[in-house]
Structure 1
Amino acid sequence: MGDRPATVDDVHEIATAMPHVTRVEGPKAGNPIYQVGGKSFVFFRTPRPDALDPDTGERYPDVIVIWVESEDDKLALTQDPDSPFFTTDHFDGHPSVLVRASRLGEVGVTELRELIQDAWLSRASKRRAQQWLAERGG
């Protein structure tokens, strides 16, 4: 079966499927935040002044933040200007990438699943991460 373009529903489904995940609502707009052990690994961001449409100057209403393991991982995802993944000055030094929900279709479900699983692994306790990897034969 071929890989299909990712959707926002896939983000929710993949994040929820990880073990020990809690979904909380953001304090301002009720935006979904996925956490493991009280640590966020994927969240839907409220519109902020650091992520603007270059043509209209409007704040992007659909930014999703996904944690990454390292600065190298972040760079690998954001250095291609055609990539749907990006970062802003606000996230300099933060181990995460941003992607607009409206551009998720440029990413396959397989890649999105790997990104979210890696995000979970980067935030889960060592014990939980090792247990999950062992269950998967990794």
Structure 2
Amino acid sequence: MSGTSWGDRPSYKVRGKAFVIYREPRPDADDEATGERMDDVVVFSTPDDETKRALIESDGPWFTTPHFDGYRAVLLRLRNLGAVTRDELAEVVTDAWLARAPERLAKEFLAEGSGG
């Protein structure tokens, strides 16, 4: 289900909880080349700090900012989406959904063999 979060930002939600959010330009994420605020950042929930750390430390385009310290999420610029394989993106979105879905719904999803 899609909707809005953080005011009016487009997002994907499960039972009212956002798991993917299109982030507004903020002062903690400036483009190194232009100095302008990044206007194409997407936030993906992660199930835990370990997953967040693994994505950020990978060779991929995932990153974070100090604003997200202590928050289980990674960031991705839309312009870098091509650097992520379809399988990796599917895994990150599925993990994000599972991280925010009610436990019973997540268990049903996994039991159906739809996850992982």
| Normalised TM-score (structure 1) | 0.77
**Does 2:3 align with 1:24?**
yes
1:68-110 Cα offsets, whole Å, 9 max, x none, are: 0111111101124x42000000000100000000001000011
**Does 2:35 align with 1:57?**
yes
Partner of 1:111: 88
Amino acid at match of 1:46: E
Point out where structure 2 has 5 or more consecutive residues left out of the alignment.
none
Give SS of 1:118's match.
helix
8 Å contact 2:5–2:18 — kept in the other structure? no
**Does 2:54 align with 1:76?**
yes
Q: Pick one of 32, 42, 51 that aligns with 2:20.
A: 42
Give SS of 2:28's match.
coil
| Normalised TM-score (structure 2) | 0.91
Point out where structure 1 has 5 or more consecutive residues left out of the alignment.
1-21
Runs of 4+ in 1 over 6 A off after TM superposition: none
> Per chain length, whose mean CA-contact separation is higher, i.e. which structure has more relative contact order (CA < 8 Å, sep 6+)?
1
The aligned length equals 115
CA distance in 1, matches of 2:86, 2:48: 22
- The verdict on how the C-alpha distance between 1:63 and 1:76 changes in structure 2, with shifts beyond 3 A counting, is same
Partner of 2:111: 134
CA distance in 2, matches of 1:107, 1:128: 27
CA distance in 2, matches of 1:78, 1:24: 27
